[in-house]
Amino acid sequence: MNRIDGWIAGLCAALLLVAPLLLNAYWVDVLNSVGLYALLALGLNLILGEAGLFNMGHAAFYAMGAYTAAILNTRYQIPILWTLPLSGLVAGLFALAVARPVVHLRGDYLLIVTIGVGEIVRIALVNDVFGITGGANGIFGISRPNFFGFIIRQPQQFFYLIWGFVALTIFLLLRLKQSRFGRALNYLREDAVAAEGSGINTAYYKLAAFGLGAFWAGMAGCLFAAKMTIISPESFSFWESVMLFMIVILGGAGSIPGVLLAAFLVIGLPELFREFSSARMLVFGLVMMVMMVVRPQGLLPARGRRFG
């Protein structure tokens, strides 16, 4: 990161810090939604952007995390924030179990399988297969986060919880990108055959990418459950996966700043034009078509690695 990038990042962080003091509760809640989608998209970016694996079933991992947190909290009275790592672990293990038989697939074939996984999870939740998800009605009565007796209730309070988690995620992903693991994922994205010929265990890294991305989606699901206090299958539809896929592609696959910018544009910007909400999908489709023709690398594409 050069000096100009540092100044821009610092300015954006400062604006976010003071945003809850300047905006009303509605717009702070919109920023909270942007933060949750940014978390989810950063997890998907690890799978799609860094490793080049097409995944359009990310909402399934999101749902696994949310329902894990909700069930543990409502049935066993475990504080909601204590379930954060457990939600990520359940989602990550589920992703590994799903990806292991299909990890050899590439491109459109893997994409179709992930779409099927997402729909299977949603239908299982609607039909209350194990008798613990509440069916189409979902789960009610999820408790608010509690920090040593301080209960988080207001959108302004959730803002700092969610965006603090986003900041931690960005820090960890930046470290990951510069690691040996991050470089192996990039080799896998550029040419899996050449990567395997260079001695990289491609199956291992594909599974690791799926597991880590799903782990982060599961924790985002926990935060979503804590924020809403009620969850239902309709919150984890195929459209959610499409939105996340669009955020990563629009921002620039593998680009953390691009994902954040696209999250603001895709989730936050439509709130300014709510009177045209019926045409939202049409506009999104047109934007994606134009982007694929004019700027297929995304709004803020990832920079190439520099070697001394």
Give 231's DSSP letter.
B
| pLDDT, average across residues 76-99 | 95
Is 143 a member of any domain? yes
123 occurs within a structural domain: yes
Q: 272 lies in a domain?
A: no
| Of 153 and 281, the one with more pLDDT | 153
Does residue 244 register a pLDDT over 50?
Answer: yes
% of the chain exceeding 70 in pLDDT = 96
Q: Is residue 201 part of a domain?
A: yes
- Yes or no: say if 200 and 13 are a contact pair by the CB < 8 Å rule: no
Of the candidates 71, 3, 67, 62, the one whose C-alpha atom is nearest the C-alpha of residue 36 is 62
Q: Based on the structure, what is the number of domains in the chain?
A: 1
- Mean pLDDT of all residues in 96-114: 90
CA distance 47 to 39: 13
Mean pLDDT value of segment 242-256: 91
**pLDDT-wise least confident of 81-95, 151-165, 242-256, 294-308:** 294-308
Residue 244 within any structural domain of the chain: no
Q: With CA atoms as reference, report the closest residue to 246 among 304, 185, 188, 291.
A: 291
What band does 129 get if pLDDT is binned at 50, 70 and 90?
Answer: confident
Helix (H) or strand (E) holding 25: helix 25-45
Residue 191 has pLDDT above 70, yes or no: yes
Residue showing tokens 């239908």: 123
- pTM for this model (two decimals): 0.93
C-alpha to C-alpha distance for 182 and 186, rounded to whole angstroms: 6
Interval 206-227: pLDDT, tens: 999 999 999 999 999 999 999 9
Q: What pLDDT does residue 271 have?
A: 82
Q: Measuring CA to CA, how many Å separate 280 from each of 248, 258, 272, 277?
A: 18, 21, 12, 5
Please check whether residue 273 lies inside any domain of the structure. no
Q: Answer whether 236's CB lies under 8 Å from 98's CB.
A: no
The arithmetic mean of pLDDT across residues 246-274, rounded, is 89
* pLDDT for residue 307 is more than 60: no
Give Cβ neighbours of residue 106 (< 8 Å, ≥ 6 apart). 192
Q: In this model, does residue 1 exceed pLDDT 60?
A: no
pLDDT surpasses 90 at 108? no
Average pLDDT over residues 242-260: 92
- The answer to whether residue 76 sits within a structural domain is yes
Contact 125, 67 (CB under 8 A): yes
Give pLDDT, residue 192: 87
Please give the residue range of the domain that contains residue 192.
Answer: 3-237
* Mean local confidence (pLDDT), 290-294: 85
For the record, the structure tokens of 116 come out as 């099927």
Q: Residue 298: which of 267, 266, 269 has the closest Cα?
A: 266
Segment 40-61 mean pLDDT: 94
CA angle 291, 47, 52 (to 5 degrees): 60
Q: Give me the pLDDT at residue 2, please.
A: 59
CB-neighbour burial class of residue 48 (10 A; exposed 0-12, middle 13-18, buried 19+) = buried
| Nearest to 94, CA basis, from 176, 244, 242, 211 | 211
What percent of the chain has pLDDT above 90?
Answer: 68
Confidence band of 305 (pLDDT split at 50, 70, 90): low
* Residue 245 counted as domain residue: no
